[in-house]
Structure 1
Amino acid sequence: MGDRLTQLQDAVDELAQQFVACIHYVHRHHNLETLGPSDEIRVLPKDAEQEVDSHPAEVFKAAQVELAQDLITKEQQIEYLISILPGLDNSERDQERNIKELEDELRLAEAQHQQAIQEKKDIMSNLDEVIRSIRRP
């Protein structure tokens, strides 16, 4: 998984794809209805490819509800990703303090690591002395 900004960018890209898919679905499966008195529905020849494949009203409505719920879920995911980005609630001073604390923790961990290496060397040296001091009876 990537960093937060990459996750946010991916989520925004997915939302855009969902918008396009929603528009395509509505355009492809709407009911053929006239909206005004001067509108007319074109009748295409039987061998021509149909631009619209009308779904029954209840199926179309259920699909619209599902698509809308998917859009809302993705939008909420984006809102969450935005809310956890650093810098929105942290001032520059807070961020610098956090960096200094992390640097201090890193120095402490490095010191502990060096101490453990020295202890290992001491133990190996003692073990070597013990092994060399053992004589066969």
Structure 2
Amino acid sequence: MGDRLTQLQDAVDQLAQQFVACLHFVHRRHDLEALGPSDKIRDVKQEPQQREVDPLPADEFQAGLKELSRDLIVKEQQIEYLISSLPGLDNSEKDQERNIKDLEEDLKAAEAQRQEALKERDQILSELDGVIRSIRRP
């Protein structure tokens, strides 16, 4: 999993793909209807695989629209969450600098503990080496 900005970019890309999928669904699955009295629906004799529109029954089409709408809303909420979790939106520059200084101090303390542990390890190893060398076979 990438950082927040990468996740945000991926989510925006997925949202764009979902928009395209929604437009394709509506374009391919809508029912042919005349919108005005002078509109005519052409009856083009094409094979079913070649048809530009393959209408679904009204209830299935509406169910498909609802599902696609729900998916768009969920993706949009995911994007909003990712945006809200980005650092710096609610922090001033001074707050961020203070946080960085605190983290630097924590890092220095952890490094001091690590150095202390390394010294202790070296001391114990030298003591163990002395004990091993002092052991004689009976």
Normalised to the residue count of structure 2, the TM-score between the two structures is 0.95
TM superposition shift of 1:128: 1.4
TM superposition shift of 1:59: 0.3
In the alignment of these two chains, the number of paired residues is 137
- Corresponding position of 2:7: 7
- Corresponding position of 1:41: 41
1:12-57 per-residue CA deviation (whole Å, 9 max, x = no partner) reads 1100100010010001000000101111101112448211000000
In the alignment, the residues of structure 1 paired with residue 86 and residue 74 of structure 2 have an alpha-carbon distance, to the nearest angstrom, of 19
Q: Is 1:100 aligned with 2:75?
A: no
Whichever residue aligns with residue 117 of structure 1, its letter is L
Indicate the SS of the match to 1:86.
Answer: coil
From the superposition, tell whether residues 96 and 8 of structure 1 become closer, same or farther in structure 2 (CA, over 3 Å). Answer: same
Deviates more, 1:66-75 or 1:93-102: 93-102
- Corresponding position of 1:90: 91
Indicate the SS of the match to 1:51.
Answer: coil
- Corresponding position of 2:130: 129
From the superposition, tell whether residues 107 and 72 of structure 1 become closer, same or farther in structure 2 (CA, over 3 Å). Answer: same
In the alignment, the residues of structure 1 paired with residue 46 and residue 125 of structure 2 have an alpha-carbon distance, to the nearest angstrom, of 89
Whichever residue aligns with residue 115 of structure 1, its letter is E
1:98-134 per-residue CA deviation (whole Å, 9 max, x = no partner) reads 1111111111111111111100110111111112222
- Corresponding position of 1:58: 59
Whichever residue aligns with residue 61 of structure 1, its letter is Q
Identity %: 69
In the alignment, the residues of structure 1 paired with residue 47 and residue 66 of structure 2 have an alpha-carbon distance, to the nearest angstrom, of 33
- Structure 1: runs of 5 or more not aligned: none
Deviates more, 1:64-73 or 1:47-56: 47-56
**RMSD between superposed Cα atoms in Å:** 1.2
Indicate the SS of the match to 2:36.
Answer: coil
Deviates more, 1:56-65 or 1:93-102: 93-102
- Structure 2: runs of 5 or more not aligned: none
Indicate the SS of the match to 1:89.
Answer: coil
